[in-house]
Amino acid sequence: MSDKKKIYGVLIGVVLVAAAGLLLYRLGAEPFQDYDEATYAEVTAESMAHGNFLSFTFLNNHYFKKPPLLFWLLSASKDLVPNEELALRLPGALSALALIALVMLVCFEAGGGAASAVLAGAILSTTSAFIEPARQVRFDLLVSFFVVAVLYAGMRAKRDARWYVAAGALFGLAILAKGVIAIFAVIAVGSYILLSTPGALRERFSFLRNGYFWGGVVALLLITVPWHAYETYRFGEEFWDSYLGNEVISRLQMNLFAGTNAPSNLGYLWYLFSFAAPWAELLLGMLLALPFLYKRINIHIRSTLYASIITILSLVVVLALSQTKAVSYLIPLYPFIAIALALGIVEFCRKSRSSVRFDIVCALVFLALFGFGLTLYNAFHINPYYSLQETLATEEKAVGLIIHSTNPSPAVYEYQYDSIGSIQFYGELPFTANPYVLLLSNTSEPVPGSLVVTTAASATLTQQFPHHHFTPEYIGTSVSLFRIDR
């Protein structure tokens, strides 16, 4: 092995070890946050308690919002790992680590060599907007892994058609990971195949005449049809109204998070340039330069580079047009940003003078160190943007545990506080069955139970409800708990 290969081998190892540290260190230290983490934790707990691993429930109501693959992994992890927070966050963190390795493989396969592989892994590992949510219970990391895996399998299929079968199977797993988001795998691999196949249009679609391609279609159907058919058989239109109607069509047509802090399109840009820095800014510069460099880029690299850019732009258009917006929807962008940047920068370096290459390498080292520092600042919630959420989750867990330890099934009310998912989970209470505390003003008799209230609103309780006696059980900076006595 040459010294150059040894150096690249060491650099790849450094990237993966650093990424593992960022993803796994103190992974289970923080409580689950509202809403998504607490919701998925509750769905998993009910699934395991009732032995339902095909049809899920949330607060004992049918839960059709998400496909089953991540819930299966969460249940398996929970069986193996005693710390609940660590167990449920581990599948997402490991998916993110595997995705970092996968973008390296994609760059290798594209012909970018070890340099582009190291750079792609370093970019994704130092994108704080990718690492921070990867340390939570989220579906986006798993589906992003399978979307990029489909692209990789499609690239391998150009040399060995048997990989079409793997691509079909991986596409099926992407659908079971997060439904229609998997369509971006088709955009990525389809763009690559069309761009990498020379000749007339008929030749570009020659894969349709390959038996292994249809073997991949069979693998796709074998993986995806059984669960969807089972849910359709059991619940029919009710399943599809929620799974496709509410979760996809409604989110495109209306803002389901109206009245919350959901971002606008400008908010998306602010988030990308703040939390995906410095790589989002560098991508913008590269996009402006690429039209002038198209013919100078090696055709094999160009196919993967432009397929990644097409996928990025497709995601951006869909997210911009969708009325429901959340920063977690941006997660599938980041691996394609890493691939596009790594291939484009390394190819530019190859066409540049040695002095220019040295300057570029120095600039990249500086940007990677900046990204690493920003990732530490955000992923471990030093940034007040995240630390306030962590403090709130800690207080909600404390409130939930007090409720559960005081009485396994008390009456629990809330007043001017609607973020009850974590409290419900740790308190093991079906909050949806309880009336709001505001309704207590209609009765002259105090109703015994527990009251969850914002700390700011707690000072007005005696004025709002003069016939009730409130005993403080927990006073936090954001949320407080009182006992309602007769």
Q: Give 10-residue mean pLDDT values along the chain (486 residues).
A: 83 96 96 90 93 90 94 96 96 98 96 93 98 96 98 95 97 96 96 85 83 96 97 94 86 68 84 95 91 76 94 95 89 97 91 87 95 96 92 92 75 76 82 44 59 86 80 92 82
Q: How many CB atoms are located within 10 Å of the residue 356 CB?
A: 12
Q: What is the dihedral of CA 360, 362, 363, 364, to 10 degrees?
A: 90
Burial 428-453, CB ≥16 within 10 A → b, else e: ebebeebeebeebeeeeeebebbbbb
Give, in degrees to the nearest 5, the angle at Cα 279 between 278 and 283.
Answer: 125
Residue 441 pLDDT: 47
d(CA 211, CA 410): 62
Could you tell me the CA-to-CA distances from 446 to 452, 468, 470, 485 in Å, in that order?
A: 16, 5, 10, 7
d(CA 280, CA 123): 10
Structure tokens of 295? 């013919």
> What are the beta bridge partners of residue 58?
61
pTM confidence score: 0.93
Residue 60 pLDDT: 83
C-beta of residue 427 within 8 angstroms of C-beta of residue 411: no
C-beta of residue 446 within 8 angstroms of C-beta of residue 471: no
Structure tokens of 186? 């088709």
Q: Which amino acid is at 234?
A: R
DSSP, res 338: H
C-beta of residue 124 within 8 angstroms of C-beta of residue 334: yes
Residue 47 pLDDT: 93
d(CA 368, CA 123): 7
d(CA 87, CA 335): 24
Residue 215 pLDDT: 96
